[in-house]
Amino acid sequence: MEATTVLSTFASKTRLADISSEAVAATKRHILDCIGVTLAAAAEPAGRIILDITQEQGGNAQAGVLGSGVRTSTISAAWTNGALAHAGLRRYRLLSVCPGTS
């Protein structure tokens, strides 16, 4: 069985009741940290560059970019939000982790 199949099967069968309250609390904290650094990065010089690139590329206004009024394609919004989160983590060096960035 492929790793992706194993992981997706595990994830689809896991219920909230199967996860410890400590893990749920930590996950909520990490998500809030990620949103916070993403919002902060949008106002930083590196974040402005990321937003400028996204705006220059255009795209259908299907999804929003955190910390800005920018709307773009879902793919561009995903890239931009991830890039901003990564830039924010680098800038603010949080001890927490942000899902999807490293």
Q: What is the pLDDT of residues 29-58, one digit of tens each?
A: 989 988 999 999 999 999 999 999 999 998
- pLDDT category, 92, cuts 50, 70, 90? low
CA distance 33 to 11: 23
Q: In the numeric block, which tokens belong to residue 98?
A: 């942000």
Has residue 102 got a pLDDT over 60? no
Q: Do residues 11 and 18 touch, judged by C-beta distance below 8 A? A: no
Has residue 101 got a pLDDT over 90? no
Has residue 78 got a pLDDT over 70? yes
What is the sign of the dihedral through the CA atoms of 39, 40, 43 and 45? Answer: negative
pTM, two decimal places: 0.76
pLDDT, residue 87, reads: 86
